[in-house]
Amino acid sequence: MSYTVLQHYWWAIISILGSVLAFLMFVQGGQTLIYTLGKTEDERTIIVNSLGRKWEFTFTTLVTFGGAFFASFPLFYSTSFGGAYWVWLAILFCFIIQAISYEFRSKPNNVFGHKTYEVFLFINGALGTFLIGTAIGTFFNGSQFSVNFANISNTGNPVISRWEVHSRGLEAALNIHNLSLGITVFFLARILGLLYFMNNIENEPVLVRARKQLLSNFIPFLAVFLFFVAWLLLKHGYGYHPETKVVSLVKYKYLHNFIEMPLVGLLFLAGTLLVLYGIIKSLLASYTKGIWFSGIGTVLVVFSLFAVAGYNHTAYYPSDFDLQSSLTIENSSSSRYTLTIMSYVSLLVPFVIAYIFYAWKSINDKKINLDEIKEESHVY
Amino acid sequence: MFDNIDLSMVNWSRGQFALTAMYHWIFVPLTLGLSFILAFMESWYVKTGDERWKRITKFWMTLFGVNFAIGVATGIILEFEFGTNWSNYSWFVGDIFGAPLAIEGIMAFFIESTFIAVMFFGWNKVSKKFHLVSTWLVAIGANLSALWILVANAWMQNPVGTQFNPEKARNEMSNFWDVILSPVASTKFIHTITSGFVLASIFVIGVSAWFLLKKRELFMARRSILVASIFGLLSSLVLILTGDTSARQISKIQPMKFAAIEGLYTGKEQAGLVVVGILSPERGDTAGIGNNDFVFRIEIPKILSYMASGSFDAFVPGINDMLYGNSERGIIPAQEKIERGRVARETLAAFKKAKDTEDTAAYNLLKNKFYDTEFKEDYFRYFGYGFLNDINGLVPNVPLTFYSFHIMVGLGFYFVLFFILFLVLLFRNKIENRRFMLRLAVFTIPLAYIATMTGWVVAEVGRQPWTIQDLLPVMAATSHIDATSVQVTFWLFAALFTALFIAEVQIMFKQIRLGPKEGRK
């Protein structure tokens, strides 16, 4: 494969991982609903155990997303993580407290009491989703950084990527478009969490409350999502010239990307319709499979957003400080050799998906209720 | 040098990474070893159908679960800290270092996270054999993830299979197989996972000994000691063998580290191995120190020479040889390496200038230098030295490295004896009456943690000032952030990790006191 094809292939892999992560954040969304849906200790235990059997997938996907980004586009890793320090560290704090909360929550002598761990889960669910969404928003709205490879031979300060504002990434929260994506992700995760509960839990009071919550989360989600999309389609984007590689602001860049890559546009539309179908069908009838429609829809929508951010000569991590420092899939990727090696490794992914599917099918046939949990030797 | 780099920020970043790594390593070795012990026990259950073995397996599995979660939590921080605190490093070698991390995620983490769910929740849902396979896959997945991160770490100690690309100002992978099949990587992998196996074996024996002291769960305790003693003994023997191989490799690729672990300032032939020693407190200026490096020492003659090169008469270079050079032995003075490193750096700067001024002839000439074998061997291999001013900055913290190494090695040999003693007592059926030995087993648990931690101190402190051996010093690997930000996150991490550690220990103690769930009153 040519270098260009490899770079596009790896952006597709990153997009897939990012979109699957967005879907799997139903775990985070569900964590923000523990007290809203669970009014008794038993109900909360059912909810936590339902989510607890999935949290590692979200976590593992996040770790793999990070590792794959590092391997394929190390300049992004270097620039964004080293620059937007506070945003990424805050996200990490949210995930540390999640990992232990499931395992420690119900264990005797856990020092801080089960409510503390439930608060940890709430923080992870609320802040984690919001921050990740806001951080991804900078893919469309830019950040304040510079990149200069020549710095490596400057012994006074050899750092190549430099963040040029002291707020270390927190400034992203001052941009309404970034914020709208953060809020969209937050509500989407909650909706997916609710749809997941409908499919996974067998407890009538919880399900009745879940259905009520679905509507009250759907309305703000739809409003903020439409706002985000409208702004995206109407705003300037960061394009670069295919020959000179010079980055410039381009009118309606993302709208043009959807039009010039019709398959991506179709995926976006299909994904949006599937998300809406899953939600509306679950609202109108006692339908429990909405998670599959909305989940697949989420994957398609997020994948297409990554595609318009990085394909069609678009700078996926633009710099407002210095346009020419903006990161593109061409200037920030690993070498051709490394991408080739990694491409061979990526052939394992279908095998991974197959064994995950098989393993889960074998232990996930029955819905979770109190009796099922009582029979288990491992309870969260 | 580094006029515009905040050195306190670099040290806080160092501290934060060390803090995270140390906390991470409290939990990981137990996961590595206990996962295999679970697999052995469950295999025995499936083979014999004896429900008591299932009960034993499930008890240790509960402790495994508590420990696993916090290991995962601290692990994700390490992965992202490469970017947040070491952004220059992430670019300079990300082309090579990132690949093992990604492969770790795809190949290992998903195996672990998928089959751990079957292992915990599949007892009543899948067949015995499928459950057993899942338990084995958890063990394999956990150790596979260790493989990839250790490949990455070994590459930092011994950068092979790479070519510098002046256009991008970074090192790029030139041979994947050189990276993953590097002898340093395989030795490091086996040495590290077997240290985890030994720690887990001691943990199992120590906890079982506590049950015997309390005269509870006698069957479980005896059987657990049997499994753990055999596994621990075999692992500790491999640990010693790979430790020996590792020492030989270090003497070749990181001779400064090798000299530091033995406190050897002046190189010599027929060098002896210090078994026990107290370093002289007067040291500090490396110049002129020769025979007065130790206040006290017990030495085995010629063994250090043998460890270094397989010959009792071989010359082992000391710290001063590497700082000031030794023409008889063909060792280049550090100052000359610094000069050569500067030539490589200046060549890169000239290349960039030629590119900016579109001076094609100079551009091509200078670019080709970075692909020229002689230039690479004579100059570019010292690229990292070009960032340094003072040759004394090349010496790691000798006392910390020396004492850590000797504590690790001493405990390693003690563990072999420990496992043999427990096996003998077990086979003579006298174990329950030897209360001293049972107490010793309980108190050996923290020693196992000390041994494995000191091992990492030797590996990481001993290679300072390098992030990438000879290519990138820590000071040049950093991010462009301020010290205050890192100070704040350091203390936040310290507080959070400590709180979680206390909770984990309390939960573990409670679970142990409660014993196996089945049959619990």
Q: Is the peptide bond before B100 cis (omega within 30 degrees of 0)?
A: no
Burial class (CB in 10 A: 0-12, 13-18, 19+), A243: exposed
Q: Tell me which residues of chain B, numbers 156 to 175, contact chain A at a CB-CB cutoff of 8 Å.
A: 165, 167-170, 172-174
Task: List C-alpha distances in Å: B512 to A104, B226, B442.
Answer: 15, 19, 13
DSSP B462-476: TTTTEEETTTEEGGG
Mutate to test the interface with A, among B13, B87, B474 (most CBs of A within 10 A): B87
Average pLDDT along chain B, 521 residues, taken 10 residues at a time: 72 94 94 96 96 95 90 86 93 90 85 89 90 96 91 93 94 94 95 97 97 94 96 97 94 94 91 89 54 80 90 93 92 95 94 92 94 94 92 92 95 97 91 92 97 96 94 93 93 94 94 82 49
- Going from the C-alpha of A78 to that of each of A86, A293, B83, B85, B161, the distances in angstroms are 14, 36, 5, 9, 22
Q: Does A115 touch chain B (CB under 8 A)?
A: no
If DSSP codes are grouped into helix, strand and coil, which group holds residue A339?
A: helix
Percentage of chain A beyond pLDDT 90 is 77
Among B106, B115, B499, select the one facing A64 at the smallest CB separation: B106
B126 interfacial to chain A (CB closer than 8 Å): yes
pLDDT at B322: 94
The pLDDT of A129-149, averaged and rounded, is 95
pLDDT of res. B4: 61
CA distance A312 to B353: 31
Interface of A with B in 65-104 (CB under 8 A): 66-68, 70-72, 74-75, 77-83, 85-86, 88-89, 92-93, 95-100, 102-104
3-state secondary structure A173-228: HHCHHHHHHHHHHHHHHHHHHHHHHHHHECCHHHHHHHHHHHHHHHHHHHHHHHHH
Rounded Cα gap, residues A100 and B76, in angstroms? 13
Query: What mean pLDDT comes out for the span A340-347?
Result: 92
Query: Using an 8 Å Cβ cutoff, are B161 and B175 in contact?
Result: yes
CA distance A173 to A86: 12
Residues 309-338 of A with CB under 8 A from B: 334-335, 337-338
Torsion A330-A332-A335-A339 (CA) sign:
negative
pLDDT of residue B288: 46
A58-67, A104-113, B110-119, B183-192: which is most confident: B183-192
CB contact under 8 A, B106 and A352: yes
The answer to whether the beta carbons of residues B387 and B348 sit under 8 Å apart is no
Q: Report which secondary-structure segment, H or E, holds B295.
A: strand B294-300
Residue B223 identity (one-letter amino acid): R
Lowest mean pLDDT among A44-58, A234-248, B194-208: A44-58
Check if the beta carbon of residue A259 is closer than 8 Å to that of residue A305.
no
Q: Which residue has the tokens 């009520």?
A: A212
Mutation target vs B (from A20, A78, A321, A325; most B CBs, 10 A cutoff): A78
Preferred mutation among A7, A24, A72, A85 to probe B, highest tally of B CBs within 10 A: A85
CB B83 within 8 A of CB A65: no
Pairing of strands B466-468, B315-316: unpaired
| B517 inside 8 A of chain A by CB | yes
Q: Is the pLDDT of residue A107 over 50?
A: yes
Count, in order, helices (H) and strands (E) of chain B: 18, 8
Q: How many CB pairs under 8 A join A and B?
A: 306
Query: Which residues of chain B make contact with A114, given a CB cutoff of 8 A?
Result: none
**Smallest Cβ distance to B348: which of A70, A152, A168?**
A152
User: What is the model's pLDDT at position B294?
Assistant: 83
Interface test with chain A among B10, B89, B168, B518, by most A beta carbons within 10 Å: B168
pLDDT at residue A153, as a whole number: 85
Which chain B residues in 419-478 lie under 8 Å from chain A, judged by CB atoms?
Answer: 476, 478
Q: Inspect the interface and report whether the beta carbons of A376 and B121 lie closer than 8 Å.
A: yes
Q: Does B378 touch chain A (CB under 8 A)?
A: no
Q: Chain-centre distance of CA A336, in angstroms?
A: 27
The mean pLDDT value for A93-98 works out to 91
Give CA–CA dist B254/B248, Å, rounded.
Answer: 10
Q: What's the average model confidence in pLDDT over A167-194?
A: 95
Burial B324-351 (b: 16+ CB within 10 A, else e): ebbeeeebebbeebbebbbbbbebbebb
Pick the closest to residue A334 from A343, A323, A325 (CA basis).
A343
Q: Distance from CA of residue B82 to its chain's centroid?
A: 16
Distance CA A63, CA A73 (A): 15
